[in-house]
Structures are given as C-alpha cells and as structure tokens.
C-alpha cells in the first residue's frame, strides 16, 4: 500500500474533530459480550478502501481464510489499486489476536504476544491496553507497539453489503517506527464490528507522526486517512 503525505495542521485538527464526532454518536448497549469469531476455511470478505489523502481513490481488499489448524487461522489478503496488487498472509489465534502479519504498511512479521486489535469478548464499556516489545527491523534497537481500545456500545451503520447493528470500538495503535527526527506513528481507528460476518463491516483510520525539534518548523505529517467498507461476505465450510 502507498503512503500519501500532507503537511497541514488545520486539516489534521479537523479530522480529529470528525473522529470525536463519530465516537460521540448515540449508542445502544452491547448486550451479552461478543465472543471471538469461529473462522472456517472459505470465509471470504471483500472490502472497498477509500483513500482521502489521494483524492478519494478507491481500491479493493479481499480476505479469505485458507487454513485453520491448532487454534489458529491463516488469512490470505489481496490488496489491489491502480498501481498493482499486493498479497500477504495474516495468522490469527483463537481469540482474534494477530500472531503474524502486518499492522500498517510494513512487511509481514511475527508478533509475540499476538496483537489484540480487538480484545474478545467485546463487552459493554470494556477497555484494554497492550504493550508489545519489538526490535526495530533496521537498527535492531528495542522498541514497543502500544495498543489502546474501548468498546462503546452498538452503533447502527450502513455499508455496501447492507445495514448492521455493529459493536463500535475506538482504538489507538502506536507503532514501533520512531526515528531520531520524528515521533512514532499514531493511528486512531473507529471500528464497527458485526458478529454475523465475523469481522468489521467498516473501519476509519487516521494516522500521523510529528517531526521533532520544536519551534515553528515542527510539523505534523498525516500518513493515512482511509475508510474501509464491506462489499460482501461469503461464509465458508459449505
């Protein structure tokens, strides 16, 4: 996937306000906690991805479960846009934790412990934090990935695949990519998870980092502003 960079304090602030507005929408109670999905071979999701840093460019993401064994599932992902295709494999454990794959735009890699992007079961008001120790791939210096998430009830949403009474999750992912000249990337996610399709039906991502040094020239760099929406879901095991 490609990284678009826009230097704009005002636009970044506006996007943060939009995010706050989304998170503040009226919600209904989650009800019984939502357990991790039971993935089976053949489960297939198709998403469209709208990139707001590239003038609304639309691309496509396909995901399909290709193997289930030993409490883990392997998911093949295929991303296609005007410049070509990229394919990789994610491996998730029985609780939905990401054991290996990609969190953002880096090459696939293992994670120990698995990354809890969604900390099942998803119960009303649940919050979680996770710290994952890593080694910087270039410098081999120790670093960390930081995760924060909160369940904020059920929010109705409509995507091309239909209407869903989804569990809404607000999440912050801080990556292990800090350099001497810039802070780590912080990505803020709004996630609408629908148990009936075993996956999110909609995600909105806003990512940025800040140049170090202080003073008037210090700039916040936006690196992602995307919306992912479910086009279709086909259950496997048939």
- C-beta atoms surrounding 235 within 10 Å: 13
Assigned domain for 151 exists: yes
* Domain-located, residue 194: yes
- The CATH number covering residue 174 comes to 2.40.360
Question: What is residue 58's predicted lDDT score, i.e. its pLDDT?
Answer: 96
**Based on the structure, what is the number of domains in the chain?**
1
> pLDDT category, 26, cuts 50, 70, 90?
low
Residue 1: inside a domain: no
Residue range 96-135, pLDDT digits in tens: 999 999 998 888 999 999 999 999 999 999 999 999 999 8
Q: What would the mean pLDDT of 19-25 be, rounded to a whole number?
A: 45
Which residues span the domain enclosing 52?
6-234
Assess if residue 54 is contained within a domain: yes
41 burial via Cβ count (<10 Å: 0-12, 13-18, 19+): middle
177 phi, psi to nearest 5 deg: -125, 25
Distance of alpha carbon 15 from alpha carbon 18, whole angstroms = 5
Please check whether residue 75 is in contact with residue 92, taking contact to mean a CB–CB distance below 8 angstroms. yes
Does the pLDDT of residue 32 top 60, yes or no? yes
Q: In sequence order, what are the residues at sequence separation of 6 or more whose Cβ sits closer than 8 angstroms to the Cβ of residue 145? A: 103, 111, 115, 130, 131, 132, 134, 173, 174, 175, 176
The predicted structure's pLDDT at residue 7: 30
Q: Mean pLDDT over residues 77-84, rounded?
A: 94
Task: Determine the pLDDT at residue 25.
Answer: 53
Could you say which DSSP state residue 21 is in? H
Domain assignment present for residue 75? The answer is yes
d(CA 22, CA 15): 11
In a domain, 25, yes or no: yes
Instruction: Quickly state the pLDDT bin for 29 (edges 50, 70, 90).
Output: confident
pLDDT above 70 for 4: no
CB 61 within 8 A of CB 43: no
**What is the structure's pLDDT at 151?**
98
As beta bridge partners, residue 156 has 165
Is residue 65 assigned to a domain? yes
176-233: pLDDT as tens digits: 999 889 999 999 999 999 999 999 999 999 999 999 987 777 899 999 999 999 999 9
Q: Is the pLDDT of residue 20 over 50?
A: no
Continuous segment of H or E residues that includes residue 13: helix 9-23
pLDDT computed for residue 125 by the predictor: 96
**Is the model's pLDDT at 21 over the cut of 90?**
no
């Amino acid at each position: 996937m490609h990284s678009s960079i826009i230097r704009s304090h005002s636009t970044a602030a506006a996007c943060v306000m939009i995010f706050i507005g989304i998170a503040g929408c009226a919600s209904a109670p989650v009800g019984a906690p939502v357990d991790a999905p039971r993935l089976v071979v053949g489960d297939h999701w198709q998403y469209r991805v709208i990139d707001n840093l590239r003038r609304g460019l639309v691309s496509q993401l396909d995901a399909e479960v290709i193997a289930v064994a030993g409490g883990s599932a392997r998911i093949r992902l295929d991303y296609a846009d005007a410049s070509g295709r990229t394919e990789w494999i994610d491996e998730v454990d029985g609780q939905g934790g990401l054991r290996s794959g990609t969190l953002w735009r880096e090459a696939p890699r293992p994670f120990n412990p698995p990354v809890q992007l969604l900390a099942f079961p998803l119960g009303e008001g649940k919050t979680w934090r996770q710290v994952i120790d890593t080694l910087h791939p270039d410098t081999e210096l120790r670093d960390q990935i930081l995760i924060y998430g909160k369940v904020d009830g059920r929010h109705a949403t409509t995507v091309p695949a239909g209407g869903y009474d989804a569990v809404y999750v607000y999440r912050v992912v801080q990556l292990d990519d800090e350099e001497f000249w810039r802070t780590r990337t912080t990505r803020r996610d709004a996630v609408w998870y629908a148990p009936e399709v075993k996956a999110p039906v909609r995600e909105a991502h806003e990512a940025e980092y800040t140049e170090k040094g202080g003073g008037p020239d210090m700039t916040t760099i936006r690196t992602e502003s995307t919306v992912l929406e479910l086009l279709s879901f086909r259950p496997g095991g048939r």
